[in-house]
Amino acid sequence: NSKVIQTPRYLVKGQGQKAKMRCIPEKGHPVVFWYQQNKNNEFKFLINFQNQEVLQQIDMTEKRFSAECPSNSPCSLEIQSSEAGDSALYLCASSRRVSNERLFFGHGTKLSVL
């Protein structure tokens, strides 16, 4: 069973609404990733953190998403104004180190934007 916990499993929002999802990384893993898995099952990297600091993010994330990984609290990813194209499975993953390390994934949050 996955030790990366994502909530909620399912999220339904209307266009223009905020959509927030959370992730508790595996214990002892300081590096957290967010990926979007679209309806064609393709993975798109969104953002990653080491402890509370952002390492990398794509333009879309910077402009339309709000993400954080505060100490002693779950990480979160929030879409500020949902669009139909945001409907996807959002996967959180964690790892022990930044480079060349295996990722441990959660089950994901399936977002449907109506």
Partner 1 sequence: GDSVTQTEGLVTLTEGLPVMLNCTYQSTYSPFLFWYVQHLNEAPKLLLKSFTDNKRPEHQGFHATLHKSSSSFHLQKSSAQLSDSALYYCALASSSFSKLVFGQGTSLSVVP
- Determine which residue in the list 32, 75, 79, 91 makes contact with partner 1, applying CB under 8 A: 91
Show Cβ contacts of residue 13 under 8 Å, excluding neighbours closer than 6 positions: 19, 82, 111, 112, 113, 114
Report, in Å, the least distance between residue 94 CB and partner 1: 12
Cα separation, 58 vs 36, whole angstroms: 12
Residue 79 or 106 having the CB closest to partner 1: 106
- Residues 26-85 contacting partner 1, CB under 8 A: 33, 35, 40-43, 45, 48, 55-56
Rg (CA), the chain: 13
Report, in Å, the least distance between residue 1 CB and partner 1: 9
Cα separation, 92 vs 37, whole angstroms: 11
Contact set with partner 1 (CB under 8 A): 2, 4, 33, 35, 40-43, 45, 48, 55-56, 91, 98-108
